[in-house]
Amino acid sequence: MISLEPIARPDAPLARRNPVAKLAAALLFAFPLMATLDPVAPAIAIAVELAVLPLFGLHPRVLVRRAWPLLAAAGGVLVTLVLFAGDRSGRVLLDAGPVMVTSAVLVTALGMVLRLFAVALPGVIVFATTDPTDLADALVQNAKAPARFAIGALAAFRLVPLLGQEWEMIVMARRARGVEAGRNPVARLRLFVSTAFTLLVGAIRRGTRLAVAMDARGFDAGVPRTFARRQQFGPADWLLVVGATALAGAALAVSVVLGTFRPLIG
C-alpha cells in the first residue's frame, strides 16, 4: 500500500521547519548538482544528505523503505549506459561480446547514478517529513501560490494512496475471471500495460468528479480564504535555505578543485 504521510519524528529540529523552506532548500541543494557529471559533487552531496538525516528525525532504514524506487531507477541507468554508451574509451574492464565495459563507461555510469540519488533524496526527505496539509497552507501563505493550485495539488496528493489499492483490486478482479499471465513474460507485459491503462482511466474519472465536487463546494470562489493553521517563516527557515545553498556550492567547488588537480596527480 502506498503511503505519503510523514514518517519522521515531528520534534526533530529540521522536521519542524516551514514546509516552503524545506522545499526551497531541497531545490537549491539539488539543482546545481544537475550541472555536472563528475561523481565527486553528488558523492559529497549524498554524504551531506545522510549526515543530516538525524536532524530531520529519519532513520536510514526508514528512508530506504520510502526511496526504494530510486534503486530500480539506478539499476536502469546503469544497464542503459553499459549497453548503449557512446564513449568507450579507457581501460577495458569487461569484454563479453556485445557488452564491453571500460573505465570511461564506469565513471559515467557512477556519476549518473550518484547524481540521481543526490538530486532525488532531498525531495524524498522533504515529503517524508512534511504533512501535505501544512505544505499546501505554506505554499499559499508563504510562497503566495494560488489557492486553487495548492488545494487541488493537496487533493491529488491525498488520492495517491488509492492507486495502490485500486491496482490490487483490478489484479484480483482479473484473477477471479481467470485472466492471468502465468510464466509467459510477453503475457505479463501485456497484462501490466492493460492494468496500468485501466488504472489511468479510473484516475482521470475520479479526478474529474473531484474537481466538480470541489467547485460545487466553493473551492473556486474568488473570496479570500482563511487558514486554520498559520505557517510562520522565521530566521531558522532562512538559515536552512541559505545553508543548503552554501553546501551545494561547496560540493561543486570541491569537485572543480579536484578536477583541476586530477591531471597533475595522475
Q: In 10 A of CB 86, how many CB atoms?
A: 8
Closest to 63 measured CA to CA, from 112, 122, 132, 23: 122
Residues 24, 117: one domain?
yes
Closest to 47 measured CA to CA, from 62, 32, 29, 34: 29
Asked whether residue 72 is assigned to any structural domain, the reply reads: yes
What is the residue range of 33's domain? Answer: 1-130+233-266
Residues 193, 239: one domain?
no
Q: Which amino acid is at 54?
A: P
Asked if 64 and 80 touch (Cβ cutoff 8 Å), the reply is no
User: What's the pLDDT at 220?
Assistant: 67
pTM of the predicted model, to two decimals? Answer: 0.76
- 230-260 residue pLDDT tens: 888 889 999 999 999 999 888 888 877 776 6
Q: Please, which residues have CB within 8 angstroms of residue 34's CB and are 6 or more apart in sequence?
A: 115, 119
Residues 8, 114: one domain?
yes
Residues 113, 238: one domain?
yes
Residues 164, 102: one domain?
no
Asked whether residue 256 is assigned to any structural domain, the reply reads: yes
Q: Please, which residues have CB within 8 angstroms of residue 236's CB and are 6 or more apart in sequence?
A: 17
Please give the DSSP secondary-structure letter assigned to residue 107: H
Asked whether residue 154 is assigned to any structural domain, the reply reads: yes
If one counts the domains in the chain, the total is 2
Q: In 10 A of CB 142, how many CB atoms?
A: 17
Residues 115, 153: one domain?
no
Residues 103, 178: one domain?
no
Residues 226, 238: one domain?
no
Q: Give CA torsion, residues 212, 216, 220, 223, to 10 deg.
A: 180
Residues 120, 237: one domain?
yes
User: What's the pLDDT at 259?
Assistant: 66
Residues 10, 23: one domain?
yes
User: What's the pLDDT at 243?
Assistant: 92
Scan for cell 530531520, then name that residue. Answer: 56
Low-confidence ranges of the chain (pLDDT < 70): 1-6, 85-90, 92-101, 220-222, 259-266
Residues 101, 197: one domain?
no
